[in-house]
Structure 1
Amino acid sequence: MRSFISLFIIFILILTGCSATGPNLSAALEDSHAQIVKLQEENEQLKKEIEELKNGPEKLLARAKHYFENKDLENISSTMETLADKHPEAQEIQLVQEMINTLTTEKEKAEAEQKKKVEKEAAEKKKRIAAATQKMRSNRDEVNGITWYRDKTTTQYVNAKSFHIYFGKYDDNTVISPRLKIQYFGDQWVYVDKYIIKVDDEKFELYPGSDIKRDNDTKVWEYYDTNMGTKDWEMVKKIISSKKTTVRHQGQYYYDHVVTDKEKKALQNTLDAYEALGGEIPTG
């Protein structure tokens, strides 16, 4: 403001001429001072008008209505503070307060409903987990802090023919992706190097490589135990809903195993328990 006044005085001096002295200069300065005072008054009036346009009761009410329509409780509360501070006697205060009360009630109701929903989902999850795990047999690895789950109808030993899946969970509740296990048990070696799985009219092939395990006693057994990927997950889902699935243990010889209804049910039970405990569809 001081810079403006100085510039204004310089401007007046230029207009009156640099040669003005004595009474003429004093009159010019008085006149310029009067004009400055007038400009200051006009400036203050303009500020008030701008403030009224921006933060007058009607404007603040309109702003509050906008926030109300957008369910913006934070900004409407801020607008209320401005209104109460600048216009404590304005009738608009009551209207804005009613809007705040309405939004507050809606927020509390929404929070209560969300809490109820979360509690219901938690109860349903607990119930689902209990139902799913009741069908599981579990055994604990104390050293690694893992509990392994498999269907109660699934064999625990390798000296049996089987096509099944199982999974684990760490003590921190991290769920381990399911594993697929294919077992052969018989009188003769097959020397498996490939599995051909025919699911109705669709074929899948698995190559165990060096992961195949073999042993023998009075009989022989060969089995493959591997992490499931996305394709394996999709295959298992198709096996569960298939009319007929045949697993060919292909090698120097071959052996065909038809997946039984009991095995299909065990597959489904294990997937249910896996998902109920928080497991996700494996990737890769």
Structure 2
Amino acid sequence: MNKITKRILILLTTVLISCGIPQTEVDKLNAEIETLKKEIDECKNGADKLFAKANLHFEQKDFNASQNELNTLIQKFPASEEAAKGKELLTQLNIEIEKLSQQKQKEEIERKKKEEKRLSDATKNMRTKYDDINEITWYRDKTSPQYNNYNGFFGYFGKSNTGIPFLRLRIQYAADDWLFIESYIIKVDGITYTIEEEKYGEIETDNGSGGVWEWLDRAVSEDELQIMRAVANGKDVKIRFNGKQYRKDKTINSTQKAALRNVLDAFDALGGKIY
């Protein structure tokens, strides 16, 4: 009985008593109301109606709803013909639920196999190096430079034994003369991005055998990740190395872009995260 019905009955009883109608007559009227309510409920939720709803849910493959209706049917009308049919339908329903469970298990196995293959494909182009002191495995595309005396714009990432991958960006400049780089301007298909030195000495320098090397190596933020993805997928990509007095422009070629895509794919596939 809902709150509105209770309030109506209380009000009706109060009115009848106030009109001088004996309590016995009021009780009799209340009993008739309760009987009428049960008849209405059976009309709405009788055995035939419950079975019809359960069967409809079954056909729609809404097995949980069908199961609830059948359990209600069997509990309320255990001796009815519909309850007998409901038990048969419940048996079929349990078979379908088991089939569905087995199908989900099969799909999960297939999903895991595909995920393992995706991870394998993503890392097959990576060169790995294990740092046993810090317990970190470093991943770098096989075509990316290993040493400072090569020009490069590339990403790489590390993964600890218990953590998730973390991404780094490295920009290298190698030439005969110093630029003393302070910032980089990257132009991707007409859109310009800037990467600046955030603190003094962040862009490091070295020299040897007649050459000079300047490089930036930093943890990737959301802004740098956006730049890396743009470069990886861009068609016409150029980088300007801005020095204290001079500058140098270079094209980021297809090999560098492919390497960047490989690293980003592997980073994503291994569950990498930008902090």
TM-score of the pair, normalised by structure 2: 0.75
Whether 1:240 aligns to 2:232 is yes
> Amino acid of the residue matched to residue 95 of structure 1?
K
Residue of structure 2 equivalent to 1:216: 207
**1:119-142 CA-partner distances (Å, limit 9, x unpaired):** 222112211222221211111233
Equivalent residue for 2:184, pick from 166, 178, 195: 195
**What is the CA-CA distance between 1:250 and the residue it aligns to?**
0.8
Choose from 164, 167, 173 the match for 1:174. Answer: 164
8 Å contact from structure 2 (residues 74, 86) kept in 1 = no
Distance change in 2, residues 1:262/1:86 (3 Å): closer
Q: Aligned pair in 2 of structure 1 residues 95, 108: CA closer, same or farther (>3 Å)?
A: same
- Partners of 2:81 and 2:117 lie apart in 1 by 55
Report matched runs for 1:245-264 at 5 Å.
245-252=237-244, 253-264=246-257
1:183 Cα deviation from its structure 2 partner: 0.8
Match of 1:91 in 2: 81
Query: Could you tell me whether the CA contact under 8 Å between 1:193 and 1:207 is conserved in 2?
Result: yes
| Cα distance change of structure 1 residues 135 and 15 upon mapping to structure 2, 3 Å threshold | closer
Quick one: structure 1 residues 258 and 114, their matched pair in 2 at CA, closer, same or farther if it must change by over 3 Å? Answer: same
1:262/1:48 CA distance change after superposition, 3 Å: closer
The AA in structure 2 aligned to 1:182 is I
**2:148 is the counterpart of 1:155:** no
SS in 1 for 2:193: strand
What is the rounded CA distance, in whole Å, between the counterparts of 1:101 and 1:57 in structure 2? 18
Alpha-carbon distance change, 61 to 215 in structure 1, aligned in 2, over 3 angstroms: same
Cα offset for 1:244? 3.7
Q: Partners of 2:30 and 2:223 in 1: how far apart? A: 80
Distance, in Å, in 2 between the alignment partners of 1:69 and 1:151 is 53
| TM-fit CA distance, 1:171 | 1.4
Give the superposition deviation at 1:274. 1.5
Contact 2:47 2:73 in 1 (8 A): yes
2:109 to 106, 109, 119: 119
**Corresponding position: 1:267 with 2:245:** no
1:19 maps to none
Separation in structure 1 between the aligned mates of residue 72 and residue 21 of structure 2, nearest angstrom: 46
Identity %: 36
The runs of 5 or more residues in structure 2 that have no matched partner are: 1-12
CA deviations on 1:154-177 (whole Å, 9 max, x unpaired) are 12222322111101222125121x
For 2:27 and 2:192, the matched residues in 1 are separated by: 95
Letter in 1 for 2:250: H
Please say if residues 173 and 215 of structure 2, whose CA atoms lie closer than 8 Å, have aligned partners that are also in contact: yes
| Deviation (angstroms), 1:91 | 1.3
Q: Distance in 1 between matches of 2:216 and 2:30?
A: 92
Aligned-residue Cα RMSD (Å) equals 3.5
Match of 1:165 among 130, 155, 162: 155
Structure 2: which amino acid aligns with 1:255? K
Distance 1:267 1:206 in 2: 17
How far 1:265 moved relative to its partner?
2.1
Given that 1:193 and 1:209 are in contact with CA atoms closer than 8 Å, whether structure 2 keeps it comes out as no
Paired amino acid for 2:127: R
Question: Shift of residue 37 of structure 1?
Answer: 9.8
* Unpaired runs of at least 5, structure 1: 1-6, 17-31
| 1:56 Cα deviation from its structure 2 partner | 3.5
Q: Contact conserved, 1:73 with 1:100, CA < 8 A, in 2?
A: no
In 1, are the aligned partners of 2:58 and 2:66 still within 8 Å (CA)? Answer: yes
Contact 2:54 2:66 in 1 (8 A): yes
**What is the alpha-carbon distance in structure 1 between the residues aligned to residue 227 and residue 57 of structure 2?**
53
Could you tell me how far 1:184 is from its partner in structure 2?
A: 1.4
The aligned amino acid for 1:256 is D
